[in-house]
Structure 1
């Protein structure tokens, strides 16, 4: 079977794909995006692809150089990644992104009749892939399990187990800010015992349709989930009348504040 390869068109297609893939991986890893560097990385990837396709005949060498040397050069040039662990993670994300973007373009391949249409589809596929990634990251963040939390109030500190509950959508009616929930025992450890002058928030739960809880403003809240710390200044917490929320955790975190 005979194929004709238009090297200029082949280079352009690979350049565009590498450009979008580098942008996706950079945003997934939250790297500092430099457009000129991304362009340089995409050009390196497209150039090496052309060289390997034209001059390499043995499939084993193509396999090694394509998936090893070329992709590493692509990532190092385009994103400036030097740390080995981050580079491996970027390499994996590159293939995940290529799989998603390639699948999207393959679906619409019968409708591609020109370079402009391909460019539009590649651009749309790029944003769709990022949207899928953001959606997965959102669910991962909001469906995470328990974490460690440190509460600070008037020079006192209390470290407890907390849970990020997607069902907690409590908000202060006055400020509209998200509200977390702690137990009365934790409030006492922070020196908060007098709630007579505090505002209250209403809530509904199983067996209680119109409950109320006093609201406190703490000095600071620090949550540590999966080696990542999140600091919240002046968080609002509601004090539950229950001394224990469960046998595992003493605080229900509102995901809208994290």
Structure 2
């Protein structure tokens, strides 16, 4: 069986896919590579791939090494300047993972196979697949960051104890304007459980600003102690905790927002 290969179309398609893959890997690795350098790496990878296909390489092991190790490594070195060693191994894993993701999105469009064979539509679908893959990776990254920020908070006040699920809120910059102490935020329902049904006396009020509300004041209480566990345990004596009238999460996955400076 013979196949007719149009090397110019083959080169352009490989250049397009290599460029998109390198852009995805660069985003995951947070590389500072410029778009021009990424394009140069994709150009070199496509040229090397075409040369390897055209070259008579009889041994399948040699072909596998050239295609999946040599060319991929050369692209990563040239485009993203990935150093040798463990970082290169990690980058290769990410490259092939992104390749499977991008290929899976493209294969899901197989019902349009008759149209995808048209060059311009192939490139349009490839770009669309790149943005879809970017969105998926962003959601996975967001979920990973949230998982890493999950904690368990043990609150102590006048002999009472309450344990609540919490998250470290990196966007929380709330502080006491007098002392400058960081202020975490607790749901009112959780606060009432800790304080025995009602808020204690001696509240202080912390001014704040939030999205959708220009300004307001938040009642705050100084607890006895706070233990945050998740990656080890961290104890804080006498922390300030603001009381929110609204639920902090719609599904109850967390009931307290921890200040990042605790």
How far, CA to CA, are the matches of 1:145 and 1:127 in structure 2? 27
CA deviations 1:191-229 (Å, max 9, x no partner) are xxx95442499xxxxxxxxxxx8338xxxxxx9x98xxx
Q: CA deviation at 1:63?
A: 0.4
**TM-score (normalizing by structure 1):** 0.62
SS of residue in 2 equivalent to 1:215: strand
Corresponding residue for residue 121 of structure 1: 125
> Is 1:139 matched with 2:148?
no
CA contact (8 A) 2:184 2:256 kept: no
Q: Closer, same or farther in 2 for the Cα pair 1:97/1:200, shift >3 Å?
A: same
Q: CA deviation at 1:239?
A: 6.6
Q: How does 1:179-258 map to 2 (within 5 A)?
A: 180-181=185-186, 195-199=202-206, 214-215=219-220, 237-238=241-242, 252-253=256-257
Q: CA deviation at 1:80?
A: 1.1
Moved beyond 4 Å, runs of 4+: 145-149, 181-184, 254-257
Corresponding residue for residue 91 of structure 1: 92
Q: How does 1:13-92 map to 2 (within 5 A)?
A: 13-55=13-55, 56-82=57-83, 84-92=85-93
CA contact (8 A) 1:165 1:252 kept: yes
SS of residue in 1 equivalent to 2:205: coil
Structure 1 residues without counterparts, runs of 5 or longer: 150-161, 173-177, 185-193, 202-212, 217-222, 227-235, 241-250
CA contact (8 A) 2:184 2:259 kept: no
How far, CA to CA, are the matches of 1:171 and 1:78 in structure 2? 38
Q: Closer, same or farther in 2 for the Cα pair 1:36/1:239, shift >3 Å?
A: same
How far, CA to CA, are the matches of 2:152 and 2:47 in structure 1? 49
SS of residue in 2 equivalent to 1:81: coil
| Number of equivalent positions | 193
CA contact (8 A) 1:22 1:94 kept: yes
CA deviations 1:93-135 (Å, max 9, x no partner) are 1001100111111222413141110111010000100100111
Structure 2 residues without counterparts, runs of 5 or longer: 154-163, 175-182, 192-200, 209-217, 222-227, 232-239, 245-254
